[in-house]
Amino acid sequence: MSDSYRPAFHFTPLSMWLNDPNGLVYYAGEYHLFYQYHPHSTVWGPMHWGHAVSKDLIYWEHLPIALYPDENGLIFSGSAVIDWNNTAGFGKEAMVAIFTYNNHTYDDKKRVEDQNIAYSTDHGLTWTKYAGNPVVPHPGNLTDFRDPKVFWHKDHWVMALAAGDWVLFYISPDLKHWESSGSFGGGYGSTSGVWETPDLFQLPLNGSDSRWVLTVGVGSGAYAGGSGTQYFVGDFDGKTFTSENPKETVLWMDHGPDFYAPQSWNDEPNGRRISIAWMSNWSYARETPTETWRGMLTMPRELSLTQTSNGLRLLQKPIVELAYLRRDHIHWQDEVITPKHNLLAGIQSRSLEIDAEIAVLNATKRFGIRIFVGEGEETIIYYQPEESLLYLDRSRSGQVDFHEDFSRLQSVPLSPVGGSIRLRILVDRCSVEVFANDGSVTLTDCVFPSAQSHGLKFFVEEGYLHLNSLDIYFLEHADFNITSIK
Ligand code: FRU
């Protein structure tokens, strides 16, 4: 069967439904990736944890399903740790998954969510659910109480979980006994939708300084419509998080519609903070037009903080390992582009990396890049100098009719730095990830063009454009090893 949407280098399930990344942990030379998975349908249903491993975050090996739903409920999102000190007593270097059981009884509309653990002593291949579950029982008065992110901090375990428009914190000596240690939210940031899938981590600043970043999924009403991800910058004292910005400050991690439930790896061996997100939107996730599989993940991104005149902001870059996929490369330097001139005429590709630095002068008019260009189809990333706005238009990108929100034009403020803007764009058959100005603004989008739409065009609408530099890298297909699937 033709599967022309299947990405060349983004993670997808071999078949059926995927949503959030879960249980991200590095252990013994492997990055583990678990994910919300429904093995019996291409729409969301009883959740399992799918499993894959990679040595470099680029080439993934699919492994058997790790966690199955049972009489206690569905296995919702969560995280995983290596219990280096055997605090739980599950064995030397046990991998421990911390997840939410969701027990939704449709009859009385009651939902019960609680936090639970399971452990593996064979590198995440087989799992035993802890007999003493739940480790954090349902508090009784909350409908939404899920998605525990656990990590080790100094001398204890920390759990952050989402509850309505709050993130609740718990601490534990042994992963089995947890006590409430604080909360954050109740009016901070965007509260347009239910908060989900929190993540909390420390990022270095210059010198010995650092800050803590709390990322939170907002289930609806996010920046680009539907679900999206916000973040807070502040402090964590080992018990709870405080924001250094006023309540009203809303910071979006990504300004496109398809970036949700990001989670970062525990124990990353090089000390990097690497996060990966589900590349979809709850508005239309169940309707995207792929056939045998549905749902994919972003390119893993390395996170850092930068000081701006408005305060500290997150920067995101594709991990350096992306370079492993680069094959042929074309480089241009100091080109002048006019409306009649398409520098990229003759280049055809549906999986590539584009890195452009463009001078923005007083007279510069609308310019940009058309990708997935074919018969009546194009996806346009363009910049409007008069407005200092970066746009992404996917209204003619291919299949768009499956949901009314999908065609909505996206825009985000972007100012030139040193007189130019820089656009790094990952194009992969059914997606585009834009990292503008060294990752200070990102736009993540799914698109569904036909397989014949592989043209490219670099354009300026009027006058001329000075291109400081342009690099195009053709990216190899990251062959996922499927032999170990049962
Ligand atoms: C986020 C989410 C989580 C939940 C999971 C269920 O996308 O709604 O809150 O645990 O998906 O699949």
pLDDT digits (tens, 9 = 90+) for 348-389: 999 999 999 999 998 889 999 999 999 999 999 999 999 999
Tell me what the mean pLDDT of segment 189-202 comes to: 98
Query: For residues 191 and 165, is the Cβ–Cβ distance under 8 A?
Result: yes
Give the model's pLDDT for residue 479. Answer: 57
- Rounded CA gap, 180 and 172, in Å? 9
377 lines ligand 1 (CB under 6 A): no
**For residue 83, what pLDDT is reported?**
98
Domain 321-482 architecture: Sandwich (2.60)
Ligand 1 near 149 CB (within 6 A): no
Ordered strands of the 326-337 beta sheet? 326-337, 465-475, 351-359, 420-428, 431-436, 441-446
Q: How far is the CA of 221 from the centre of ligand 1 (A)?
A: 16
* pLDDT, average across residues 241-259: 98
> Which of 77, 104, 161 to mutate for ligand 1's pocket (most ligand atoms within 8 Å of CB)?
77
Nearest-atom index, ligand 1, CA of 78:
10
Instruction: Show Cβ contacts of residue 54 under 8 Å, excluding neighbours closer than 6 positions.
Output: 30, 31, 33, 60, 61
The response to whether residue 76 sits with its C-beta less than 6 Å from ligand 1 reads yes
- Stretch 166-186: mean pLDDT: 98
- Does position 177 have pLDDT exceeding 70, yes or no? yes
Residue 483 in this model has a pLDDT that exceeds 60: no
Residue 407 pLDDT grade (very low, low, confident, very high; cuts 50, 70, 90): very high
Q: How far apart are the first and last CA of the chain?
A: 21
- Contact (Cβ atoms closer than 8 angstroms) between residue 393 and residue 470: no
Of 20, 168, 297, best ligand 1 pocket probe by most atoms within 8 Å of the beta carbon: 20
Does domain 16-318 fall under CATH 2.115.10.20? My reply is yes
What is the arithmetic mean of pLDDT over 396-420? 97
Catalytic-role residue among 3, 20, 147, 254: 20
Q: Is the CB of 197 under 6 A from ligand 1?
A: yes
pLDDT at 185 over 70: yes
20 catalytically annotated: yes
Residue nearest to atom 6 of ligand 1 (CA): 76
Cβ(433) to ligand 1 under 6 A? no
Q: What is the mean pLDDT of residues 310-319?
A: 97
The mean pLDDT value of the chain amounts to 95
The rounded percent of the chain whose pLDDT value lies above 70 is 97
Indicate whether residue 437 lines ligand 1 (CB < 6 A). Answer: no
Task: Supply the pLDDT for residue 152.
Answer: 98
Where do the CATH 2.115.10.20 domains begin and end in the chain? 16-318
Residue with the smallest CA separation from ligand 1 atom 9 is: 196
**pLDDT category of residue 208 using cuts at 50, 70 and 90:** confident
| CATH 2.60.120.560 domain range(s) in the chain | 321-482
pLDDT score of 110 = 65
Residue 363: the pLDDT is 87
Beta carbon of 144 within 6 Å of any ligand 1 atom: no
Answering whether pTM is above 0.95, one says yes
CA of 361 to the centre of ligand 1 (A): 45
**pLDDT value of position 480:** 53
Which of 107-111, 186-190, 405-409 is predicted with the least confidence, judged by mean pLDDT?
Answer: 107-111
- How many Cβ atoms sit within 10 Å of the Cβ of residue 453? 22
Nearest to 377 by CA among 396, 354, 360, 404: 396
Residue 338: φ, ψ to 5°: -115, 170
Residue 460 confidence (pLDDT) above 90: yes
pLDDT at position 351 is: 95
| pLDDT in the model for residue 245 | 98
pLDDT of residue 104: 73
Which is the closest atom of ligand 1 to the Cα of 227? Answer: 7
Assess whether the C-beta atom of 38 lies below 6 angstroms from ligand 1.
Answer: no
- Checking 284-288 for CB contacts under 8 A at 24+ apart, the result is 284/226, 284/402, 284/403, 284/405, 284/406, 285/19, 285/44, 286/43, 286/44, 287/402, 287/403, 288/402, 288/446, 288/448
Residue-level length of the chain: 486
Does residue 101's CB lie within 6 angstroms of at least one atom of ligand 1?
no
- Cα 98 to ligand 1 centroid, rounded to whole Å: 14
